Amino acid sequence: MYNVSEINYYWTEIYYHLHLPHKEKITHQVIRILQHIEKNNGIGIGEVATYLNVSHNTASENVKRIIQKGYLQKQRDLSDERKVILCLTDTGKDVLYRNTSLDEEKLKKVLNQFSSKDRQMIEQGFRTLSEGVKKCM
């Protein structure tokens, strides 16, 4: 018997202690948009609207503001020039990283405490779960 609540507790503890410092003011919507674009190719305004469950004009305006901040870039789809294709700028990747990832310096420090066997187990656990997630979802 395994306990998913327990895993969730570990999950939040790890993030609480290892997240990066939050520099920029940013909302969840913006992070969701950045992450959705980063994790999928060829995302346009329409897909953003559907994903966030907001109207097209809201998505368009939200994306415009994110472009103004320099986090996103626009291209036109060559096969259908009505469509926009969005991708992250380097700044956008950096912002997304700082708001969703673990601080690698802290993580290194923590991992250094462990035996190499334990480290391997941790890494293997994450890898296995991540790969299982992609197969299943």
Partner DNA sequence: AGATTATATCTATATATACGATACATATTA
Partner DNA sequence: TAATATGTATCGTATATATAGATATAATCT
Point out which residues bind DNA (CB under 7 A): 25, 27-30, 44-47, 52, 54-58, 60-65, 69, 74, 79-84
70: left (phi over 0), alpha (psi -120 to 50) or beta: left
φ, ψ for residue 87 (rounded to 5)?
-150, 160
CB-CB contact of 11 with 102 (8 Å): no
Which among a copy of itself, DNA, none contacts residue 56 (Cβ within 5 to 8 A by kind)? Answer: DNA
Among 8, 60, 78, 88, binds a copy of itself (CB under 8 A): 8
- For a copy of itself, the closer of residues 60 and 103 by Cβ is 103
Q: Taking CB within 5 to 8 Å according to partner kind, which of DNA, a copy of itself, none is near residue 65?
A: DNA
Nearer to a copy of itself, 69 or 83 (CB): 69
93 contact, one of DNA, a copy of itself, none, CB 5-8 Å limit per kind = none
CB-CB neighbours of 88 under 10 Å: 20
Residue 119 burial (10 A CB sphere; 0-12, 13-18, 19+): middle
Q: Are 88 and 72 in contact (CB under 8 A)?
A: yes
Choose among a copy of itself, DNA, none what residue 72 binds, the Cβ cut-off being 5 to 8 Å by kind: none
